[in-house]
A and B are shown apart, each in its own frame.
Chain A
Amino acid sequence: MSAVIESHNHDDHHHGPAKGLTRWLYTTNHKDIGTLYLWFSFAMFLIGGAMALVIRAELFEPGMQIVEPEFYNQMLTLHGLIMVFGAVMPAFVGLANWLVPMMVGAPDMALPRMNNLSFWILPVAFFILLSSLFMEGGAPNFGWTFYAPLSTTYAPPSTTFFIFSVHIMGASSIMGSINVIVTIMNMRAPGMTLMKMPLFVWSWLITAYLLIAVMPVLAGAVTMMLMDIHFGTSFFNAAGGGDPVLFQHIFWFFGHPEVYIMILPAFGITSHIIETFSRKQLFGHTSMVWAMTSIAILSFVVWAHHMFTVGLPLAAELFFMWATMLIAVPTGVKVFNWVTTMFKGSITYETPMLFAIAFVVLFTIGGFSGLMLAITPADFQYHDTYFVVAHFHYVLVPGSIFSIMAAVYFWIPKWTGNMYDERLGKLHFWLSFVGVNVTFFPQHWIGLAGMPRRYPDYALQFADWNMVSSVGAFLFGASQILFLFIVLKTVMGGKKATPEVWEGSRGLEWTIESPAPYHTFTTPPKVN
């Protein structure tokens, strides 16, 4: 296996990548699969984003202009499902594929064939989900939370296809997580103890355990729906002795850890970027690990804060309020650690750093509104209004999505061997930053003033801020086309990257050349 053959004889299938489509279909290489995941999630991000723009276009003015309320509900359902399961989660899995083996000094993921399978069933799942748009009765129209009985007794026939696609997505996530855990547990380079592991690896280890714990719960929920729809059971049908609230308990027992699945890897990414561009070791590595672990554990005992208005007993309301408030402690620790890392650092502001700083500020704002939502009596007013929409978009868009974009700018020189265009990267950042805030900040206000979420039309007092929000959404949407252009430009060429890429870079992935060779760490490095 000589490097000479690798770089000069491209027809040698045993050493370099295969040619053509089959390279991607049959690949078991973690870098190829990482690339597939990332492109797939970007495609889903654009499709889900286009649906968001349909929603914002309809809400531009009061009255029904562009779509029917029925189709509006299909759009908001698919937007949520696609962004959660198609954009954010696969993007993080893609990053894990690229980075975890390189960061722990492993040659590949532990289970490469399963890795291939876990990716390739995803496009199938989303093909099924999207095809429901063209079925009689239309696509699922009950929101991404698919509360029964709207999603069972009253659902369109395409719901069965939706259930099937959720099953496939779940299987894909579980396989991906097993792979991450096995890789981290068994394939770390000699000397890399658990507490020495980079934080992105730590964040993914915790995320993978969360996924394995809760994806089967989601599978259970949709299977019970399937039974209710087709096989005459009454899990969620009150008329048959069932319990519609049971659905919400099951869903949110999955759903709340799911929320952290979408943010924990972002914590890891942000930690790496902030320490790199501050040229200073991350403050409180150990406390970061403990903070993430406690957030993950707490995520299993807070699910009913999504259900404060379903009529829980007082004791339950108090318990879930207090438990939810507790999450502010480890989350605060993380924010303080990032700020302290920057304190007395030696900071420069390349695009990844800009996205990471915006992440810290805007995620913290989302954290504050989260704390407000935890206060049960106040939640009676906030619940199911645009205040909630603003809250979770603040933690998901300038939270998860910004961290993914930061990661792409940060590691793309390692992936492609080329530097991205810094000027365009900064332009993309500022457009996205302005767009995201203009879109979502006013939603706090219309929510407090009383506009419920999932409304295709609204009372006149909400008109002005909805218009502002829609303008922001189109700005944000358009600036992602620029992102696509920047990535393509970097893939095709650009200033050559050094192995270290960044002046302050730390970690094993920066010790190998850029672009990273097809096979890396075939003999494990030694970590001191």
Chain B
Amino acid sequence: MLKKATTSIKNKLFVTFITLFSGITSAAWDDFNMTKGVTAISKEVFELHMLIYWICVVIGIIVFSIMFYSMFAYTKKKNPNPSTFHENTKVELAWTVVPFLILVFMAIPASNTLTKIYDDSEGDINIQVVGYQWKWQYKYLEDDINFFSNLATDWDEINNLTPKGEFYLQEVDEAVVIPVGKRVRFLITANDVLHSWWMPDFAIKQDAIPGFINTAWTVVDEPGTYRGKCTELCGKNHGFMPVVVKVVSQDEYDAWVQGKKEEALKMAELTEKSWTVDELTQRGEGVYLKNCVACHQVNGQGVPGIFPNLAGSDIVLNNKARNVEILMEGVQGAAMQSFANQLSEVDMAAVITYTREAWGNAGNGDGEIVTPQDIVEYKKPKA
């Protein structure tokens, strides 16, 4: 492994020299520099970044050349008698005014680009983005589409049990889909702690803050799959809630919207169906692995002092009403959030039933299961 490491370092250093000294812009360039992105704004931001970068490089070369010249030319050996000057008003004035003018020169394009970014008029499509610990919810305001987007990378890959895939930590179970060439506006907020929705290819980074709605917009010209991340520390799994946006043609987008609507109808049918314990437990395991393991762990034992143990818990074993209530309402002042909007009635019932059956819990408690109808009942306004 050490050998592999040194080779890869060598390769990288080699690439650095090639890139820096021959000016070749290859695919490797993306490993060093900001992405140009795929929108007019992101390209403008990139140009701005390069402009400031080169100004800094030029100033750096001038200042450091004078410094290194002094270091070599005025050593004690070569110049045993130092000069005694220690003030010069003209020079001092010059190096105050000239940098100021350079700054003004930089501030003009920067302010222009910023003003363009700050255009919060309505989009053709408006999508509400809600940050949760540790997933994103997307609500399409016009089409009544609503889903959660979770990390799709297997925890075995993260824990080095299986090889890591190409899109390790950059893949989700369900991506945001938007059509090409349309103005899409994102209304960004959060449900629990701060998050930040970052899509480098669109040059959008906007904090998701509970109680506030921030807006960002984009018009993407190139279809493709774009990958971003959460960039505000949001707890344990901050590094594990990526953002994926699929940009597709208008036709594909319409088909996708249609598909999502049919899915919703099917889900309604599932709620009506009568479920057996096994069916619920089986479905519940999947729901658990997606939504609950991060805190309560695969073995249900949680993390002592932070995340409660579910295996053998009295509430899970004997208190069905409280069990449902916790999942529906969350726990005030603790990391446990409300899952009422995140899970369908079916998934909610399935995951509760699963916890009541798994890890040796089966047979140790009141043995009651929770059906989708129980959840529907719970959701009805109370008299």
Binding site for B on A (CB under 8 A): 62-65, 69-70, 73, 136-138, 141-143, 147, 149-150, 153-154, 156-157, 238-239, 242-245, 278-287, 309-311, 314, 317-318, 321-322, 325-326, 328-329, 332-333, 335-336, 339-348, 357, 360-361, 364-365, 368, 371-372, 375-378, 380-385, 445, 448-450, 452-461, 463-465, 467-468, 471
- Among B33, B60, B114, B230, the residue within 8 A (CB) of A449 is B33
**Interface check B183, CB cutoff 8 A:** no
Interface assignment of B352: CB less than 8 Å from any CB of chain A: no
- Say yes or no: A137 contacts B31, CB within 8 Å: no
**Interface size (B, Cβ < 8 Å)?**
100
Check: B303 CB closer than 8 A to any chain A CB: yes
Is the CB–CB distance between B200 and A381 below 8 Å? yes
| CB neighbours of B170 from chain A (8 A) | 459
Q: Are A69 and B236 closer than 8 Å at their CB atoms?
A: yes
A70 near B169 (CB under 8 angstroms)? no
A-B contact pairs, 8 of them (CB 8 A): A73-B235, A73-B236, A137-B306, A243-B211, A318-B114, A347-B70, A384-B196, A454-B233
Chain B residues near A62: list those with CB within 8 A: 164, 168-169
Question: CB < 8 Å: which of B34, B74, B192 contacts A149?
Answer: B192
Tell me the B203-247 residues at the A interface (CB within 8 Å): 203-207, 209-212, 214-215, 229-240
Do the beta carbons of A333 and B92 come within 8 Å of each other? yes
Given contacts A149-B193, A245-B209, A311-B209, contact A69 B237 (CB under 8 A): yes
CB closest chain-B residue, reference A275: B86
Q: Does B24 contact A (CB under 8 A)?
A: no
A150, A347, A457: the one within 8 Å of B235 (CB): A150
Residues facing A in B62-88 (CB within 8 A) are 63-64, 66-67, 70-71, 74-76, 79-87
Q: Smallest Cβ distance from B9 to chain A, in angstroms?
A: 6
Contact A377 B231, beta carbon cutoff 8 Å: no
- Report if B335 contacts A (CB, 8 A): yes
Q: Does B56 contact A (CB under 8 A)?
A: yes
Q: Are B12 and A464 in contact (CB under 8 A)?
A: yes
| B92 partner, pick from A243, A284, A325, beta carbons under 8 A | A284
- Which 7 A-B pairs give the minimum distances between C-beta atoms? A238-B211, A136-B305, A311-B214, A455-B239, A368-B56, A344-B83, A346-B82
CA gap between A26 and B5 in the complex, in Å:
53
Q: A239-B210, A280-B82, A464-B12 are in contact. Are A378 and B52 (CB under 8 A)?
A: yes
Among B64, B66, B75, B76, the one with the most A-chain Cβ atoms within 10 Å of its Cβ is B76
B193 near A154: Cβ-Cβ < 8 Å = yes
Residues of B near A309 (CB, < 8 A) are 196, 205-207, 231
Q: A465–B52 contact, CB under 8 A?
A: no
Q: Are B74 and A375 in contact (CB-based, < 8 A)?
A: no
Which among B45, B168, B212, B230 is the interface contact of A381 at CB below 8 angstroms? Answer: B45
Contacts of B214 in A (CB 8 A): 310-311
Q: Which one of A137, A238, A311 contacts B305 once the chains associate, using CB atoms below 8 Å?
A: A137
A142 to B232, CA, bound (A): 10
Find chain A residues with CB under 8 A from B12 CB.
Answer: 464-465, 468
Q: Does B256 contact A (CB under 8 A)?
A: no
Question: Given A63-B160, A318-B111, A372-B56, does the pair A448, B239 have CB atoms closer than 8 Å?
Answer: no
**Chain A residues with CB below 8 A from B34, complex form:** 378, 381-382, 448-449
User: What's the Cα separation between A343 and B82 when bound, in Å?
Assistant: 9
Q: Which residues of A contact B133 (CB under 8 A)?
A: 154
B96 and A244 form a contact (CB under 8 A)? no
Q: Is the CB of A467 within 8 A of B8?
A: yes
Q: Is the CB of B71 within 8 A of A347?
A: yes
Are B194 and A339 neighbours in the complex by a CB distance under 8 Å?
A: no
CA distance A445 to B110 in the complex (A): 22
B44 within 8 A of A: yes
Q: Check: B173 CB closer than 8 A to any chain A CB.
A: no
Rounded to whole angstroms, the CA-CA distance of A364 and B67 in the bound complex is 12
CB <8 Å contact, A346 and B79? yes
B157 contacts the other chain (Cβ, under 8 Å)?
yes
Q: Are A361 and B64 in contact (CB under 8 A)?
A: yes
How would residues 276 to 308 of chain B score, 1 for a CB under 8 Å from any chain A CB and 0 otherwise?
000000000000000000000000000111100
Q: Which residues, 349 to 365 on B, are CB-close (under 8 Å) to A? A: none
Choose among A73, A286, A375 the residue that contacts B52 (Cβ–Cβ < 8 A): A375
- CB pair B194–A377 under 8 Å, yes or no, is no
Query: B48 touching A360 by the CB < 8 A rule?
Result: no
Which residues on the B side are within 8 Å of A137 (C-beta)? 305-306
Known: A245-B209, A321-B111, A455-B238. A345 touches B52 (CB 8 A): no
Please determine whether A467 and B168 come into contact, CB atoms closer than 8 angstroms. Answer: no
List of B residues within 8 angstroms of A138 by Cβ: 305-306
Q: A375 near B82 (CB under 8 angstroms)?
A: no
Contact A282 B86 (CB under 8 A): yes
Q: B373 at the A/B interface (Cβ < 8 Å)? A: no
Q: Which residues of B contact A280 (CB under 8 A)?
A: 82-84, 86
Known pairs A138-B306, A328-B103; list 12 more (Cβ under 8 Å): A69-B240, A70-B306, A147-B232, A147-B233, A333-B95, A342-B71, A345-B70, A345-B83, A346-B75, A449-B33, A464-B31, A467-B8
> Are B48 and A378 touching (Cβ within 8 A)?
yes
**Are B192's CB and A154's CB within 8 A?**
yes
